[in-house]
């Protein structure tokens, strides 16, 4: 029995060895057939081209009124009336407040009375001067007659025709006439001085009257500019003083309106260098155009213009102010609002823009791109990007027109590997069947 079992086991072992040998032989025959090579990965590419691009800068800023006037009283008194509605539109010269005019009206009347008195005094001085001049004329005639009589009487006395007393009488009359003429001429000079003094008094009275009239006019407080007025800081019955520090109200002109934006000095230097090197060109009259984004990101419908840039850089922030002017007919922009201004820098005529997904980073963080060369091999290029423009990068170095840039399938493309390039279309993925692993059973068929 044991012998039989040993023979049976020996026979089973031989049969197993034969089966194993056949299996190995058959397997050796299958492995002698070469497996087909894996399919070439498919990638989506675009051809690099140049285009004209207008470069802009997004800058933060705040709005400020085009003009602003703080209303303050120029005379002291009690507020009698408020003549405007708070928050309304005001025109230049519109009355705003009425201050009690009674004290200043009395001062005006007093100045007017003083002026009238000065004018009457001047009229009297002129009348006196006229009388004095007439007296001088008459006295000159009397003196001429007295001198003639004196000469005649002296001649008669020399001939012995008259007595000495008569001659002396004629001489005395001539002397008196001459003295009277001198006195009358002195009165003329006195009257002239009185007229000059009266005219000076008139000018003083006129100036006092004008000052009183101006002060009386200031009792009605008017708007110096047109715009929108805010709330009133005083009520009827309040006492105000001339030149007080607190404003009665504030008027702001909102159409147009200023937008003051901040720009770093480093960006200004970069812009000047690019313009000097010729890489960036001015955009002519359109370079001064500015667009605006509101606080919620909504575009402002109207364009503004760049007015000027400040000449001083803030040492604490390293930035300076750019002032832009925007039309504001509907008063959508209010002073103090935070906005973002889109300022045009210039134009790049031969700009290269590539999709952002086509740019990756190497282990050092440098931007790189993959291109397909003429032999359908993948080549890695180091590039330099300037800025993002919407969903594309502006490439300044590393790519040239005509390069076949890989946009999709970068994870399957390795430098030096062969790939199949297809045209990239937005939203289209390259054929994934070409990169799926093929089962071993399929390869064996």
211 and 117 belong to one structural domain: yes
Q: Per the structure block, which two tokens stand in for 258?
A: 């200023």
CA 378 – CA 403 distance, rounded (Å):
12
Residue 101 above 80 pLDDT? yes
Highest mean pLDDT range out of 146-160, 183-197, 263-277?
183-197
Last residue of a domain, one of 200, 217, 234: 217
The stretch 277-285 carries a mean pLDDT of 54
Do 128 and 84 reside in the same domain of the chain?
A: no
Residue 373 lies in a domain: yes
Same domain membership, residue 200 and residue 230:
no
Q: Does some domain include residue 378? A: yes
Work out the average pLDDT over 77-90: 94
pLDDT value of position 242 = 92
Please indicate, yes or no, whether residues 46 and 181 belong to a single structural domain of this protein.
no
Question: Helices 102-159 and 164-217 sit at what angle, rounded to 10 degrees?
Answer: 170
* Domain final residue, candidates 228, 246, 264: 246
pLDDT-wise least confident of 20-34, 92-106, 340-354, 388-402: 20-34
Same domain, 385 and 424: yes
pLDDT band of residue 434 (cuts 50, 70, 90) is very low
**Within-domain flag for 224:** yes
The mean-pLDDT minimum among 283-292, 309-318, 402-411 falls in 283-292
Q: Whole-number mean pLDDT of the chain?
A: 82
Regarding whether 201 and 145 lie in a shared domain, the answer is yes
Q: What integer is the mean pLDDT of 295-302?
A: 91
Local structure of residue 402 (DSSP, 8 states):
T
| pLDDT of res. 422 | 87
For residues 300 and 293, the answer to whether their CB atoms sit within 8 Å is yes
In a domain, 398, yes or no: yes
Could you identify the residue written with the tokens 């285009």?
51
Is the pLDDT at 34 greater than 70, yes or no?
no
Could you tell me if 195 and 236 lie in one domain? no
The answer to whether position 8 is within a domain reads no
pLDDT band of 24, cuts 50, 70, 90: low
φ and ψ of 90, to 5 deg: -115, 140
Query: Given this model, what pLDDT does residue 430 score?
Result: 42
User: How many structural domains compose the chain?
Assistant: 3
Q: Phi, psi (5° rounding) for residue 32? A: -70, -20
Mean pLDDT across the stretch 221-227? 94
Q: How far apart are CA 291 and CA 271, in angstroms?
A: 19
Q: CA 184, 186, 191 angle in degrees (round to 5)?
A: 95
Q: Of 64-73, 172-181, 432-441, which one has max mean pLDDT?
A: 64-73
- Residue pLDDT, tens place only, 369-388: 999 988 888 899 999 998 88
> What whole-number percentage of the chain has pLDDT above 70?
83
Owner of token pair 């850089």 = 313
Q: Is the pTM of this model over 0.85?
A: no
pLDDT (tens digit per residue) in 103-130: 999 999 999 999 999 999 989 988 988 8
Residue 202 lies in a domain: yes
Range of the domain at 83: 73-100+219-246
Q: Are residues 116 and 212 both part of a single domain?
A: yes
Establish if 271 belongs to a structural domain: no
pLDDT of residue 177: 84
203 domain-assigned: yes
Q: What is the DSSP letter of 398?
A: S
Q: Which of 174-183, 236-245, 273-282, 343-352 has the highest mean pLDDT?
A: 236-245
Whether residue 155 is found in the same domain as residue 91? no
Q: How confident is the model at residue 90 (pLDDT cuts 50, 70, 90)?
A: very high
Residue 445: pLDDT over 80: no
What confidence score (pLDDT) does residue 435 get? 34
E-assigned strand segments in 72-148: 77-82, 89-90, 95-99
> What is the mean pLDDT of the segment spanning 236-250?
93
Q: Are residues 84 and 188 in the same domain?
A: no
**Do 177 and 230 have their domain in common?**
no
Q: For residue 13, what pLDDT is reported?
A: 62
Q: Is the pLDDT of residue 6 over 90?
A: no
Are 224 and 131 found together in one domain? Answer: no
CATH (domain of 407): 2.40.420.20
Contact criterion met (CB below 8 Å) for 41 and 409: yes
CATH of the domain at 93: 2.40.50.100
**Which spans in 300-411 are helix H?**
none
Confidence of residue 240 (pLDDT cuts 50, 70, 90): very high
416-427 per-position pLDDT tens digit: 888 888 888 765
Residues paired with residue 97 on neighbouring β-strands, in sequence order:
82, 221
Domain limit, last residue, from 246, 263, 296? 246
Nearest to 257 by CA among 335, 309, 330, 322: 335
Reported as a pLDDT band with limits 50, 70 and 90, residue 3 is very low
Question: Quick one: pLDDT at residue 324?
Answer: 87
């Amino acid at each position: 029995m044991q012998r039989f079992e040993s023979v049976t086991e020996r026979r089973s072992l031989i049969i197993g060895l034969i089966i194993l040998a056949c299996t190995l032989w058959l397997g050796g025959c299958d492995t002698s057939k070469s497996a087909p090579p894996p399919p070439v990965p498919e990638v989506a590419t675009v051809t690099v081209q140049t285009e004209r691009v207008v470069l802009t800068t997004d800058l933060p800023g705040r709005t400020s009124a085009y003009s602003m006037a703080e209303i303050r009283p120029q005379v002291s008194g009690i507020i009698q009336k408020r003549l405007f509605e708070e928050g309304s539109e005001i025109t230049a010269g519109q009355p705003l407040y009425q201050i009690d005019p009674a004290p200043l009206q009395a001062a005006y009347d007093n100045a007017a009375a003083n002026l009238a008195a000065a004018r009457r005094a001047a009229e009297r001085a002129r009348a006196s001067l006229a009388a004095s001049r007439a007296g001088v004329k008459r006295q000159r005639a009397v003196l001429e007659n007295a001198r003639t009589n004196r000469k005649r009487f002296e001649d008669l006395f020399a001939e012995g025709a008259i007595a000495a007393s008569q001659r002396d009488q004629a001489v005395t009359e001539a002397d008196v006439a001459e003295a009277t003429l001198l006195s009358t001429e002195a009165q003329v000079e006195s009257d002239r001085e009185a007229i000059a003094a009266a005219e000076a008094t008139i000018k003083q009275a006129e100036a006092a009257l004008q000052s009183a009239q101006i002060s009386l006019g200031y009792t009605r407080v008017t708007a110096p500019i047109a715009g929108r007025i805010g709330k009133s800081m005083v009520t009827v019955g309040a006492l105000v003083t001339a030149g007080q520090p607190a404003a009665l109200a504030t008027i702001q002109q909102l159409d147009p309106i200023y937008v003051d934006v901040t720009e770093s000095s480093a960006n200004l230097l970069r812009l000047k260098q690019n313009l000097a090197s010729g890489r960036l060109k001015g955009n002519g009259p359109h370079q001064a155009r500015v667009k605006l984004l509101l606080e919620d990101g909504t575009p402002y419908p109207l364009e503004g213009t760049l007015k000027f840039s400040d000449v001083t850089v803030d040492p604490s922030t390293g930035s300076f102010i750019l002032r832009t002017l925007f039309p504001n007919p509907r008063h959508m922009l209010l002073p103090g609002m935070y906005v973002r201004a889109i300022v045009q820098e210039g134009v790049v005529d031969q700009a290269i823009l590539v999709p952002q997904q086509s740019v990756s980073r190497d282990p050092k963080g440098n931007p790189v791109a993959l291109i397909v060369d003429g032999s359908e091999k993948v080549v890695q290029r180091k590039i330099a990007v300037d800025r993002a423009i919407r969903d594309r990068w502006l490439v300044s170095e590393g790519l040239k027109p005509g390069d076949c840039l890989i946009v999709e399938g970068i994870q399957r493309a390795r430098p030096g590997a062969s790939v199949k390039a297809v045209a990239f279309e937005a939203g289209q993925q390259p054929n994934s069947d070409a990169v799926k692993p093929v089962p071993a059973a399929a390869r064996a068929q």
